Structure 1
Amino acid sequence: MTEESSRSTAGSVPLRPPTGPEAGRTGLGLCSVTFRRLPAAEVARRAADADLEVIEWGADVHAPAGEPGTVSAVREATDRYGLACSSYGSYFRAGRGELAGFPAVARAAVLLGAPRIRVWAGATGSRSAPPEERHETVSCLREAARIAADHGLLLAPEFHGGTLTDTVASTARLLDEVDADNVRTYWQPPLDTPAEEALAGLASLADRVCAVHAFSWWPGNNRLPLADRSDLWAAALGLLAGRGVEALLEFVPGDDPAVLAREAATLRRCAGRTPAGRP
């Protein structure tokens, strides 16, 4: 596979517009991985009860790519509770040996009605990855982007440690190297990064961000209520306002479903929103 032959184009299927109740408005939702232990229908019901609008279904438990029957049932639960699937949270890691499984991931995303697939930019941090590994990750992401585009899908690596999207600079470089119209990035506050520094990084990536994973960890991975870093999240969502980005709650304190309504209410306030008043 040469770089030229693997370059992503718009594909034969038109890319779907970002999921959201209104064009340009921030969609508020939940990552299903937050409640791995609950059945998918229960996750959907709780998200709807918390007045959320979208959901990112994870491939690890709720919607495995190799189980189309399960994926169809998850889609039915999503529709039943009046939600939209914002993205398919795959665990595809761009690298050697991974591409063979990606078409099944793309088919599962279509079955879910997701406009986007979340992926991982390799398995090595940007400071440790040798040039040949970075080149391999870029080539793999470019080919995955081509496959995604052929299914009308966006592709977005998670902004995460231990991958080539572990810093703002490396993320921007990676997106430039992949050079595909249907590739964006996620964002989340880097671990142990003060709010001002995290927001400066977000500002530099804002035009390329399609979704954020919203949580409040401080210090380290100590999970706090979202309200404890509400200044960070109000500023972050303010930076992204009008871009059609989704803000997805992830990893609430104690993995406790009982706090979801509280966390969702904080997310709405940070986004400058009032309850949607679901029928």
Structure 2
Amino acid sequence: MTSFRPGLCSVTFRKLAPRTIVRLAAECGIEGIEWGGDVHVPPGQPDLARHVRRLTENAGIAVASYGSYIAPPSDDEDAFASVLDTAHALGAPNVRIWAGSRNRDSATYSTEERRDTAALIRRMARRAADASVTLGLEYHPGSLTDDLASAQNLMAEIDDPNVFLYWQPRPGLPLAEALDELRAIGRETSHVHVFAWDSEKARYPLADQRAYWSEILTHVPATRWPGERFAMLEFVRDDSPEQFRADAAVFHQMLEEARKRPSGADRSL
């Protein structure tokens, strides 16, 4: 079992300013924030990135990651260079990217396209390593990590120690399948995104899926990831700060229970 620190993805509150997000996160005991590159810290704005870093660190919260929307092969190494510079200004030790063109299913890629995408991600990973930054691939539908086999094949094709997988369940994924997936790829994972959705992407209070997430957080396998791991709340019902407060309280309870509960107490992997 891996111990996670409580985190938040800033994209949960795209309509809120960074200062408001930091205040809310601190109030709710969040220890790390992944700042999104679409609204809160766009690439190519280092002064803004430094400002958000100060806000975050002055509140006693870590910058856990930079959630970029780089999507190789749609985005090239020059685009990634701007993201990496912004991550440096933000103080982010990790950059999250999209694996493949956005909203394109893995089954539609040819062997050559997969090979070229893996090579491009590898070059980005080497550039990130030179800057002492790790690279995380979004584990997500409509990408080259949209199912277990494709994600495993992609990681094998990239074959770079600086590349990791951000894991999250596909919306509606049954618990048994989620645990099997984690068992298969757990060594490659870094952080985990936590949300309460169903297969239609309807959102619910985290308390409604407490049993599901308690099992996952208890049984996440050991990993080669070198740093501290965050389980990050991502999206809440109605984008509501009040719902986030309620979810965060449940979240802390789950993390504490997972720390105290022996792995395999109720379910063996």
Q: Do both share a fold (TM > 0.5)?
A: yes
Q: Which residues in structure 2 correspond to 1:2-13 (within 5 Å)?
A: none
Q: Which residues in structure 2 correspond to 1:228-239 (within 5 Å)?
A: 228-239=208-219
- The whole-number CA distance in structure 2 between the counterparts of 1:86 and 1:251 is 17
Match status 1:179 vs 2:163: no
Conservation of the 8 A alpha-carbon contact between 2:187 and 2:221: no
- The whole-number CA distance in structure 2 between the counterparts of 1:147 and 1:125 is 27
Query: What are the superposed Cα offsets for residues 199-224 of structure 1, whole Å, 9 maximum, x if unpaired?
Result: 21112111111011100101420001
Match status 1:226 vs 2:206: yes
Alignment-derived partner of residue 267 in structure 1:
251
Query: What are the superposed Cα offsets for residues 134-177 of structure 1, whole Å, 9 maximum, x if unpaired?
Result: 11211110011011101101101110011101111211111111
Structure 1 residue 240: Cα displacement: 2.6
Alignment-derived partner of residue 140 in structure 1:
120
More displaced stretch, 107-116 vs 145-154: 107-116
Alignment-derived partner of residue 60 in structure 1:
38
Alignment-derived partner of residue 68 in structure 2:
90
TM-score by length of 2: 0.89
Consecutive aligned runs of 4 or more in structure 1 exceeding 6 Å deviation: none
- Residue 92 of structure 1 aligns to a residue in which SS? coil
Alignment-derived partner of residue 28 in structure 1:
6
| Structure 1 residue corresponding to 2:49, chosen from 50, 71, 75 | 71
Structure 1 residue 112: Cα displacement: 1.4
Alignment-derived partner of residue 149 in structure 1:
129
Structure 1 residue 37: Cα displacement: 0.5
- For 1:178, give the aligned amino acid: I
Alignment-derived partner of residue 180 in structure 2:
200
Structure 1 residue 97: Cα displacement: 4.7
- The whole-number CA distance in structure 2 between the counterparts of 1:242 and 1:27 is 15
Alignment-derived partner of residue 229 in structure 2:
245
Conservation of the 8 A alpha-carbon contact between 1:125 and 1:164: yes
- Residue 30 of structure 1 aligns to a residue in which SS? strand
Alignment-derived partner of residue 131 in structure 1:
111
- For 2:15, give the aligned amino acid: R
More displaced stretch, 236-245 vs 61-70: 236-245
Counting aligned pairs with the same residue, the percent is: 39
- The whole-number CA distance in structure 2 between the counterparts of 1:141 and 1:125 is 18
- Residue 156 of structure 2 aligns to a residue in which SS? helix
Alignment-derived partner of residue 167 in structure 1:
147
Shift in CA distance, 273/57, structure 1 to aligned 2, threshold 3 Å: farther
| Structure 1 residue corresponding to 2:238, chosen from 254, 262, 267 | 254
Structure 1 residue 272: Cα displacement: 2.1
Alignment-derived partner of residue 265 in structure 2:
none
- For 1:134, give the aligned amino acid: R
- Say what the alpha-carbon RMSD is for the aligned residues: 1.6
Query: What are the superposed Cα offsets for residues 57-85 of structure 1, whole Å, 9 maximum, x if unpaired?
Result: 00001111111111111001101211001
Match status 1:190 vs 2:170: yes
- The whole-number CA distance in structure 1 between the counterparts of 2:193 and 2:65 is 12
TM-score by length of 1: 0.86
- The whole-number CA distance in structure 2 between the counterparts of 1:121 and 1:95 is 9
- The whole-number CA distance in structure 2 between the counterparts of 1:70 and 1:156 is 23
Structure 1 residue 46: Cα displacement: 0.4
Q: Where does the alignment leave 5 or more consecutive residues of structure 2 unmatched?
A: 259-269
Shift in CA distance, 121/154, structure 1 to aligned 2, threshold 3 Å: same
